[in-house]
């Protein structure tokens, strides 16, 4: 008799459990109808098959909003492949089930891979809520610059006032200009502060292209009238054509606000 590899047995067991949970448990957010053949096949593909096949199925589950796939995806936050864990986090975020926040929190606590942690934090941005914001803000002072950047970027999306003090505290010690611009962006979405406006404007003239890009995008989102003169100046002074268009857009949307 041909022996089935232990790893495959484990995966099949996980798949069976995921399908059983999906069929039997109805969360407060999701009450799925009977699973269609396509959805069942999609769930199976997230657990079994090659890395490419699983990745594609996970992406499809998120992009198509397959709410029935939620429980299967949650189980993949512990998958042995960092690629699978990363893709799973983003797809879970796209499903916008706030019950996933506690699962992401636990996954973040044990995750060792920096790139995976970054995507776990990015996923919180889709789950816009005070709880998601609080969790993201807890990583603002992380020793990893990439993780701090991801946390700051997530907070520009959620912009929950409960995180304001943590954001302004991190502004004083943050060493990365890119992350500082995102922190200013998030803080100014919550409260207009003259000192923060002046600090944001300063980055319109940064020697680093990426910093200027983040500053232009922040200005376009915030539409603060006090930045108009500097935006006009940035349009004139900006040597990069694409960035000049970004500053021009920021000027237009702010002027027409």
Count of structural domains within the chain: 1
Average of per-residue pLDDT across 224-247 = 98
Q: Check whether 25 has a pLDDT greater than 70.
A: no
Biggest distance spanned by C-alpha atoms of the chain: 79
CATH code at position 248: 1.25.10.10
Whether 172 is in a domain gets the answer no
Whether 227 is in a domain gets the answer yes
Whether 200 is in a domain gets the answer yes
Whether 218 is in a domain gets the answer yes
For residue 234, the enclosing domain spans 192-257
**The model scores a pTM over 0.75:** yes
Whether 117 is in a domain gets the answer no
Long-range (24+ apart) CB contacts under 8 A made by 26-34 are 27/70, 27/97, 27/99, 28/99, 29/97, 29/98, 29/99, 30/67, 30/68, 30/70, 30/97, 32/67, 32/68
Could you tell me which residue, 232 or 35, shows the higher pLDDT? 232
Query: What is residue 23's predicted lDDT score, i.e. its pLDDT?
Result: 43
Whether 153 is in a domain gets the answer no
Q: What tens digit of pLDDT does each residue of 77-125 get?
A: 999 999 999 999 999 999 999 999 999 999 999 999 999 999 999 999 9
Distance CA(125)–CA(132), nearest Å, equals 7
Whether 198 is in a domain gets the answer yes
Read off the pLDDT band of 1 (50, 70, 90).
Answer: very low
Whether 217 is in a domain gets the answer yes
């Amino acid at each position: 008799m041909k022996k089935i590899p232990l790893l495959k047995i484990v995966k099949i067991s996980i798949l069976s459990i995921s399908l059983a949970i999906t069929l039997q448990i109805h969360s407060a957010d999701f009450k799925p109808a009977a699973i269609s053949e396509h959805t069942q096949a999609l769930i199976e593909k997230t657990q079994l098959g090659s890395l490419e096949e699983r990745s594609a199925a996970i992406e499809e589950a998120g992009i198509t909003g397959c709410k029935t796939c939620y429980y299967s995806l949650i189980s993949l936050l512990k998958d042995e492949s960092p690629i699978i864990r990363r893709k799973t986090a983003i797809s879970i975020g796209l499903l916008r089930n706030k019950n996933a926040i506690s699962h992401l929190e636990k996954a973040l606590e044990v995750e060792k891979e920096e790139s995976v942690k970054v995507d776990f934090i990015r996923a919180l941005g889709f789950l816009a809520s005070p709880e998601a914001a609080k969790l993201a803000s807890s990583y603002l002072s992380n020793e990893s610059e990439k993780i701090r950047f991801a946390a700051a970027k997530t907070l520009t999306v959620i912009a929950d006032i409960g995180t304001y003090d943590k954001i302004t505290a991190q502004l004083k010690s943050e060493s990365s200009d890119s992350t500082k611009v995102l922190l200013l962006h998030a803080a100014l979405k919550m409260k207009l502060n003259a000192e923060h406006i002046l600090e944001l404007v300063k980055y319109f003239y940064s020697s680093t292209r990426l910093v200027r890009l983040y500053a232009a995008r922040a200005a376009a989102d915030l539409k603060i009238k006090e930045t108009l003169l500097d935006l006009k100046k940035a349009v004139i002074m900006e040597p990069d054509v694409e960035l000049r268009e970004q500053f021009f857009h920021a000027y237009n949307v702010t002027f027409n606000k």
